[in-house]
């Protein structure tokens, strides 16, 4: 059976006090025996806080980005080895906000995934089409181009990836892909991953997932869980999604 996984992406939200309350609520309410694996990807400055709060709990943590470089003259960047120092199991790469607003390219995302794998951190590779690309009928071509760029660089370790399909038009908009729309793209991605020897990696859906639409999405055969943005900032909502 494929692993299930629900990951929260806090984006650039939080503060020491609010994080403490959120992390305490998650650890108090998450039942490792009955519940599925979950993780939170927090802003870099709060990795230490997440590590302190979550060490010894069944909840994993990670970052939202990483440098493709190992060390050196890269002011403002954070290396994969630094994420290891803070116990990160995961890091997002290629989130659409980074592709859209911070210049992340397919090749750069692949290099970041490779840097993470070399350090022993699991990359959560985000792919997804814009509304214009969907309307132009290029959804499959776009997500496969984004995925192939990563597979070309980390072919031997493809089975260690997590992939998240996040249609850009559904992120933070309240507009979710229908279960059928999401499943169709997931099936395409699954076929490509299977050809790369990675058929069984977790394939997550993200884009305005809420407690009331999660069950229908997660019931789809190729959707193994979710990458949750806004709704991961409320413990009750996030855990309701994770239980869906």
Neighbours of 100 (CB within 10 A): 12
The least distance separating ligand PEP from the CB of residue 9, rounded to whole angstroms, comes to 4
Residue identified by tokens 């806080």 is: 49
Residue identified by tokens 């394939």 is: 203
DSSP letters for 64-91: S---SSSSSS-TT---HHHHHHTT--EE
Q: Is 95 a residue of the active site?
A: yes
Give whichever of 121 and 231 is closer to ligand PEP, judged by the CB atom: 231
Quick check: 214 and 226 in contact, CB under 8 A? yes
Cβ contacts of 103 within 8 Å, gap of 6 or more: none
Using the rule CB under 6 A, which residue among 14, 202, 206, 225 binds ligand PEP? 206
Cβ contacts of 12 within 8 Å, gap of 6 or more: 43
**With binding defined as CB under 6 A, does residue 230 bind ligand PEP?**
yes
Give me 139's structure tokens.
């959804």
**With binding defined as CB under 6 A, does residue 227 bind ligand PEP?**
yes
Mark residues 133-172: x for contact with ligand PEP by CB under 6 A, - for none: ---------------------------------x----xx
**With binding defined as CB under 6 A, does residue 213 bind ligand PEP?**
no
What is the 8-class DSSP label of residue 4? P
Using the rule CB under 6 A, which residue among 6, 8, 9, 19 binds ligand PEP? 9
Give whichever of 12 and 33 is closer to ligand PEP, judged by the CB atom: 12
Give whichever of 161 and 171 is closer to ligand PEP, judged by the CB atom: 171
What residues are annotated to the active site? 95, 166
The residue ranges that bind ligand PEP (CB under 6 A) are 9, 11, 166, 171-172, 206-209, 227-231
């Amino acid at each position: 059976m494929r692993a299930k996984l629900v990951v929260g992406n806090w984006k650039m939200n939080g503060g020491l006090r609010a994080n403490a309350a959120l992390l305490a609520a998650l650890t108090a309410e998450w039942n490792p025996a009955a519940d599925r694996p979950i993780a939170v990807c927090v802003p870099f400055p709060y990795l230490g806080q997440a590590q302190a709060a979550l060490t010894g709990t069944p909840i994993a943590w990670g970052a939202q980005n990483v440098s493709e470089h190992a060390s050196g003259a890269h002011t403002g960047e954070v290396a994969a080895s630094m994420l290891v120092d803070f116990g990160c199991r995961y890091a997002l790469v290629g989130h659409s906000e980074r592709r859209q607003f911070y210049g992340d390219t397919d090749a750069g995302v692949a290099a970041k995934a490779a840097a993470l794998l070399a350090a022993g951190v699991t990359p959560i590779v985000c792919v997804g089409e814009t509304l214009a690309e969907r309307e132009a009928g290029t959804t499959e071509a776009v997500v496969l181009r984004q995925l192939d760029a990563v597979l070309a660089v980390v072919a031997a370790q493809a089975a260690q990836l997590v992939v998240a399909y996040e249609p850009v038009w559904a992120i933070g908009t309240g507009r979710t892909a229908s279960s059928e729309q999401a499943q169709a793209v997931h099936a395409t991605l699954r076929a490509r991953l299977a050809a790369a020897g990675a058929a069984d990696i977790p394939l997550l859906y993200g884009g305005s997932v809420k407690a009331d639409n999660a069950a229908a999405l997660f019931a789809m055969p190729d959707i193994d869980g979710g990458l949750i943005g806004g709704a991961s900032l409320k413990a009750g909502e996030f855990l309701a999604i994770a239980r869906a």
